[in-house]
Amino acid sequence: MGAWGPGLYSDDFAADLRTTIRTVCRLPLSGEEIVGLLQELEPVAATADDEDYTTFWLVVADQLHQRGIASTSRERALSIIDDRSNLIGLAEREMSEADLRKREVALRTLRGKLESPLPDKPRRVLRSPQPLLVSPGEVFAFPVDARGNVRNPYFPDGVDAGMDPVGWGCCVVVAADHALGYLAWYAVQRDLTIEPERPTLTRAVERLQGRPAGLGTLSKAHLRRMGWENLGTMATPDVVRPAPDEIMQAVASDISISNALCRWENLAT
């Protein structure tokens, strides 16, 4: 079970859902279309017995209201607040009395917000598909540390306290496409064996044969911070295309391709 607490965004599910909503709201969709897509991405939205059902509707209503987007999620959330089903569910999960009181205050605050007029906010949406930054068949080398992990692209210089590059890894792009016609995603076949010297294209191709593939998103900033260096091109490996639901989860949650390029091992193991 993930972390959870009295605040609306204190649990992992709510925090992750907020990220998904932020991404989905960039699409040129109406409020009801956004809600429909979120329901497809999160099956708990249709299962009243699921412990995250009420949180889903509360968070969706809150996030869309903040963005000035009208939808029927408002009515769902108000009903959940009125019937106390969210509080009942948290009590069944043994939330403390003190935290339940804090949650009740948070829900009253949310009710007041949802009953207020929608803010008049300009909505920034994608007018065209995100550009594809790399193409299938392109081979890249990148610095890795002693664990086989890439530079952290969420840091401005790509390096955090635990990252000390000692060699090179490599990958080949096996797919680059758009989800929902707008959101770019990529699949790479990667080799995380630490190479002391920057590999040549020939060496990288040898290393990449039969390697597993990973899926994620990529921005110009992340590409730069991870230090990808183009080695050339090779015949695109024949790998199984990611499943549609995997692609949607990756783009909706904006899961960076950097996650697929790390071994996530401790130095002691």
Q: What angle do CA 261, 252, 135 make, to 5 degrees?
A: 50
Strands 229-233 and 138-144: antiparallel
Cβ–Cβ under 8 Å, residues 101 and 71: no
What distance, in Å, lies between the first and last C-alpha atoms of the chain? 26
Phi, psi (deg, nearest 5) at residue 203: -65, -40
Place of tokens 């709510």: 14
Domain coordinates in residue numbering, the chain: 12-115, 138-261
Q: What is the pLDDT of residues 115-152, one digit of tens each?
A: 999 999 888 899 999 999 999 999 999 999 988 889 88
Helix H or strand E segment including 12: helix 12-24
Mean pLDDT within 158-183:
86
| Per-residue burial over 148-180, b = 16 or more CB atoms within 10 Å of its CB, e = otherwise | bbbbbbeeeebbeeebebebbbbbbbbbbeebe
Positive or negative: CA dihedral 97, 102, 106, 112: positive
Say which amino acid occupies 2: G
Q: What is the pLDDT of residues 237-250, one digit of tens each?
A: 888 888 888 998 89
Mean per-residue pLDDT of the chain: 90
Q: Is the pLDDT of residue 161 over 80?
A: no
Confidence band of 159 (pLDDT split at 50, 70, 90): low
Q: What is the pLDDT of residues 47-80, one digit of tens each?
A: 989 999 999 999 999 999 999 999 999 999 999 9
Q: What is the pLDDT of residues 213-246, one digit of tens each?
A: 899 999 999 999 999 999 999 999 888 888 888 9
Give the tokens for residue 5. Answer: 């607490």
Q: pTM value?
A: 0.76
Q: Is the pLDDT of residue 264 over 80?
A: no
Distances (CA, A) of 123 to 60, 63, 66, 191, 244: 16, 13, 11, 41, 27
